[in-house]
Amino acid sequence: MGRMLRMGLIAGLILFTAFSLFGAHIIGGEITYVCNGGGSYTFTLKIYRDCAGAGADFDGAPNSPYPLQLTVYQGTSTAVYASVDPGAPFIEDVEPELSNPCLIIPPNVCVEEGTYVFTLNLPYTGESYHLTYQRCCRNNTITNIVNPGDAGATYTMELTPEAQTLCNNSPAFNGSPPIIICAGESIDFDFSATDIDGDDLVYSLCAPFLGGGNNTNQPAIPTGVAPNPDLPPDPSLAGFYPQVNFINPPYSFNNPLNGNPQLAIDPNTGFITGVPNNLGQYVVGVCVEEYRNGVLLSTLRRDFQFNVANCEPTIVADIKEDLLIGDVFRVISCGDSVVTIFNESFQAQFINEIVWSFDLNGTIQTFNTYDVTVEFPGNGDYSGSLVLNPGTTCADTAEIEIGIYPAVEADFDFEYDTCLSAPVIFTDLSVSGAGPNTVVDWLWNFGDGNTRTDQNPEHLYYVPGNLPVNLTVTDINGCQDSLLMNINYYPVPALIVLAPSDYLACQPGRIVFDNLSFPIDETYDIVWDFGDGTFGEGISPIHVYEEPGIYTVSLEITSPIGCFTDTTYNDLIEIRPSPVAGFSYSPLELSNFNPTAYFTDESIDAKTWKWDFGGFGISFDSDPVFTFPDTGYMDVVQIVTHESGCKDTATVRLDIEPQVRYFLPNAFSPNADGTNDFFRGQGVMEGARDFNFQIWNRYGEKIFETNDPYESWNGRKFNTGELAPSGVYLVVVSYIEPRGQTIKINAYATLIH
């Protein structure tokens, strides 16, 4: 049982690493009644809440902001017959109960039951009484219904005319609902009820009802946390309430957990069975119909949230094994008949007794230590067991097989050319005590990240060094051995490979010599002769040739153990002469009023020219002239080409400054003669911003203002009414130039009649 339990509950069902309820919510409830005679009934309302964390308390409890309010309706009337406040509940914990006593429930599981008891006088009228309590909110982590956070609950009981006539007592459940169900475990919960009148009871899964909303408007559902009054039954639903919306498929009221086999209830006994496999929270409804002489007197409804979680076994027998074959732990010892077996059992705090047992050729030997050391008679296969808490309900056993076999010894040899790079030849020399040709597996690790599994491999190293080679061999009995040997591998390359194989560059030529030879690293002495009178070191150096010419490159390589090789690349590098770009321009100050520049070539050894004027145009002249069509900073690029084909580039940034021009006249005569009738500034104002133009008279009164540089003053106050008197007027002008400089002008305008 231990291995199957371990695999089934620990390895196969690790969907959650831990389980805890997701905040405190109302998670279920039911209503029952007892007839006292004379139309008097005592009702019992039981409400369940998860209490792991903050959330909804019991209504009417000292810490709750809401009183518990039930509503009574009579017949099909929607008028409230009575409202009931039963007061504070009696609260007690619901103890968890598992169908398998050998499991441990997760921590932080907490459910409380609140019981409200109250008496009502309900005289016989030939109609049903409906007693209802509605409440939001279900856990928003419920798995099997749509929008669970917005789905409240309705707990209701119908007192039928038949029950009133007979002074009937409703059935009552014998126990509290289970607060935890273990995933992957068969459940067998007793949901039976007792009827003190001895009536016939029929059990079924049924749909829970919706109720109070989550402060949102929902059709046919009252809003708010604790609706007051509660809604009456819906006549269109045969006197019932709207049902919760199951996510279908796969869930429904008669398949609320989608187990395998799925949840089922015995209609005669009320026992619920099934195997839930998926972790989560599930809304489940259970109904108990009460019949007397074939007449339905009442229906007891329990709406509850089932929590399916991973449960740990109390103990699981386990050892440190070499192989696991089915449920049997196999331990292999090679070359040693004294074996120590290590105990790795789970839940050590629940282990009270340990019994090891081994069959040593017909003699049973037992031990009571936590780990055990056993001396076996010789080579062969032996059986044994580890039993935890023998003779108890939750004992567990691990079946053990021990194989005692001859040793295997790994060994190998190798050969290679010490100074010339070539494959290393490896020869397996391993032997097994099981006999000739009984070594069946080889694993070579060559110390450079490469592996092989053939018996006698050859391997070409691309890196030098003192390389650790490891061989692990396995024989037919599963016995293994490993051997580690170092190879002092420092040959020189069999072929020196260099990129580029030839190179044509322009002066100055920056060349990266990419040495592709192997095996070499930084421990090798590598000397380069670049052919221009200079030398270098390193595997792949960079060298700059300053002068034109054709150069022969030589390379010498010496390994750390003195192996030597060299090579010469005749006429490897050709450096061609390059021109030197350069130019000047005039005038040095350019603007939108003077946008034409004259360029003078100052390059050296140029044969052709190409100019790029900030993307606005190109030229192939040596001394071009260009007029810039826009203002701003322009990058002028000169590309010159030598007769060898080599190029050089010069770039100069020019500033074509955006400028404005603004001039004010000193007099005007607004006499409508067509000459000088208006007063305004003249010039070019494109690019200026925040323009302001004001006219003030000698009394400090502003008589004209505009933000349009092209609007004129006609000599009248704000260009309307009577003509202003002849005289001198103050003109105030301000604006910001395109580059951000603020300009302020104070001048005078003489108005002449």
CA distance 724 to 713: 11
How would DSSP label each residue in 140-206? TTBSSBSSGGG--EEEEEEE-HHHHHTT----EESSPPPS-EETTS-EEEE--EE-TT--EEEEEE-
Strand ranges inside 592-709, DSSP E: 596-601, 608-613, 618-619, 625-627, 632-641, 647-657, 661-663, 667-668, 682-684, 689-696, 702-706
For position 639, what pLDDT does the model report? Answer: 97
In terms of pLDDT, which residue wins out, 314 or 213? 314
Is the dihedral angle over the CA atoms 564, 565, 571, 573 positive or is it negative? negative
Q: 371 with 444: CB under 8 angstroms?
A: no
CA distance 578 to 407: 76
Q: 733 with 696: CB under 8 angstroms?
A: no
- Fill in the DSSP letter of residue 630: S
pLDDT tier at 289, thresholds 50, 70, 90: very high
- Fill in the DSSP letter of residue 6: H
- Fill in the DSSP letter of residue 550: E
Percent of the chain exceeding pLDDT 90 equals 78
> β-strands 647-657, 590-591: how paired?
parallel
**118-122, 339-343, 501-505, range with the lowest pLDDT:** 501-505
Residue 501 pLDDT more than 80? Answer: no
User: Once rounded to an integer, what is the mean pLDDT over residues 289-307?
Assistant: 95
Is the dihedral angle over the CA atoms 336, 341, 342, 344 positive or is it negative? positive
Hey, what are 468's tokens?
């650790």
For position 341, what pLDDT does the model report? Answer: 97
User: In Å, how far are 147, 339, 367, 377 from 374, measured between CA atoms?
Assistant: 61, 5, 9, 10
User: Once rounded to an integer, what is the mean pLDDT over residues 544-571?
Assistant: 95
Residue 222 pLDDT more than 70? Answer: no
User: Once rounded to an integer, what is the mean pLDDT over residues 355-365?
Assistant: 96
For position 215, what pLDDT does the model report? Answer: 47
> β-strands 625-627, 632-641: how paired?
unpaired
Strands laid side by side in the 583-586 sheet: 583-586, 596-601, 625-627
CA distance 345 to 347: 7
For position 96, what pLDDT does the model report? Answer: 79
Hey, what are 61's tokens?
């409890």
Residue 116 pLDDT more than 50? Answer: yes
CA distance 653 to 377: 96
CA distance 98 to 181: 7
Counted residue by residue, the chain has a size of: 753
Hey, what are 343's tokens?
């105990």
For position 99, what pLDDT does the model report? Answer: 65
Residue pLDDT, tens place only, 263-284: 999 999 999 999 998 999 999 9
* Burial readout 726-749 (b: 16 or more C-beta within 10 A, e: otherwise): eeebebebebebbeeeeeeeeeeb
How would DSSP label each residue in 278-314? S-EEEEEEEEEEEEETTEEEEEEEEEEEEEEE--EES
**31-45, 201-215, 400-414, 477-491, range with the lowest pLDDT:** 201-215
pLDDT tier at 1, thresholds 50, 70, 90: very low
Residue 200 pLDDT more than 60? Answer: yes
User: Once rounded to an integer, what is the mean pLDDT over residues 471-495?
Assistant: 95
Residue 727 pLDDT more than 90? Answer: yes
Hey, what are 385's tokens?
């067991």
pLDDT tier at 216, thresholds 50, 70, 90: very low
Set out the domains of the chain in order of their start, with CATH numbers.
2-312 (no CATH), 314-405 (2.60.40.10), 408-489 (2.60.40.10), 498-571 (2.60.40.10), 583-657 (2.60.40.10), 661-751 (2.60.40)
Q: What is the pTM of this model?
A: 0.49
Write the burial class of residue 546 (CB in 10 Å: 0-12 exposed, 13-18 middle, 19+ buried): exposed
Residue pLDDT, tens place only, 401-449: 999 999 999 999 999 999 999 999 999 999 999 999 999 999 999 999 9
User: Once rounded to an integer, what is the mean pLDDT over residues 184-210?
Assistant: 94
For position 139, what pLDDT does the model report? Answer: 85
Residue 149 pLDDT more than 50? Answer: yes
Residue pLDDT, tens place only, 20-61: 433 457 889 999 999 999 999 999 999 999 876 555 678 988
**Furthest CA-CA distance within the chain:** 143
For position 2, what pLDDT does the model report? Answer: 41
Closest CA to 418 of 275, 555, 562: 562
Cβ–Cβ contacts within 10 Å for residue 264, how many? 14
**Residue owning tokens 């001198």:** 728
Output Rg (C-alpha) for the chain, integer angstroms: 50
Residue 220 pLDDT more than 50? Answer: no
For position 681, what pLDDT does the model report? Answer: 94
Residue pLDDT, tens place only, 150-174: 888 999 999 999 999 999 999 999 9
**103-117, 566-580, 602-616, 687-701, range with the lowest pLDDT:** 103-117
Closest CA to 132 of 53, 209, 50, 218: 209
* Mean pLDDT of the residues in the chain: 90
